[in-house]
Amino acid sequence: MNVLIIEDEPFAQQELIRILNNIDPSIKVLTCIDSVEESVQWLEKNRQTDLIFMDIQLSDGLSFEIFKHTNVVPPVIFTTAYDEYAIKAFKVNSIDYLLKPIEEEDLVKAIEKFKAFKKPLENSGSYLSLNQLEEVLGLYKPTYKTRLVVRLGDKIRHIETTDISYFFSEDKVSFIMTGDGKKYIINYTLEQIESFIDPLVFYRLNRQYLANIKAIKTIDKYFNSRLIIGLEPKVEDEVLISRTKVTNFLNWLER
């Protein structure tokens, strides 16, 4: 089985490859691609792919743009963070949808499903059209947390997400920083927070900071094609965006 991985996070690429190798060493990963543009170019020139694993948010936009620019013949298994309603919708169309972080058991089932449906799908000549994709997306309206619970000793408080300037991690502990400069411990990792916070409002600047767009006060060029971000309330650390995330970050700013 020849597999193409379309995913813009290097760690997610490697983790998917690792699990695939555990499941079946005969599975061959042809390449990993991190952008819409490169995916379109690669699919135009290469026809030996049996199955595609595709993230939705890529370095230069949404992966659904790929379907607008080229005919995607192989079946697609999406790998991203949406809720069970979207998963069920895609399964109606014989396309699987795996939530990150991907569990090996779920991936095994997805591979088995692909093998079981491969022949009838080949005979139909089509797996999932752009219209079907848009129809499924219309069924899904993501919901995000609007408030979070924090504990202060024996007291419990709730904080509106609109009052949060940024989340940050320090010594393996996650914190909330509010607009008025108050800091609270929160019992989630930044990865978990990303999964339930509105991605149009909050952006993962780096491993340590997840910021509200309202808290981003300055953006300046920095050494080695990186960006340095000024947050409010101010932080002592240099908050840097890596060179590989600059394009994605600038695209996010314009949404």
3-state SS of 15-48 is: HHHHHHHHHCCCCEEEEEECCHHHHHHHHHHCCC
As a whole number of angstroms, the distance between CA 93 and CA 108 comes to 19
Q: Which CATH architecture has domain 2-139?
A: 3-Layer(aba) Sandwich (3.40)
Closest CA to 93 of 127, 68, 130: 127
- Domain assignments of the chain as residue spans, ordered by start: 2-139, 147-253
As a whole number of angstroms, the distance between CA 95 and CA 110 comes to 9
User: Which residue(s) pair with 229 in the sheet?
Assistant: 219, 239
As a whole number of angstroms, the distance between CA 126 and CA 133 comes to 13
pLDDT per position as a tens digit, 203-251: 999 999 999 999 999 999 999 999 999 999 999 889 999 998 898 899 8
pLDDT per position as a tens digit, 18-76: 999 999 999 999 999 999 999 999 999 988 889 999 888 888 888 878 888 888 888 88
Please state whether the predicted TM-score (pTM) of the whole model is above 0.75. Answer: no
Residue 94 has pLDDT above 90, yes or no: no
Coil vs helix vs strand at 196 = helix
The CATH code belonging to domain 147-253 is 2.40.50.1020
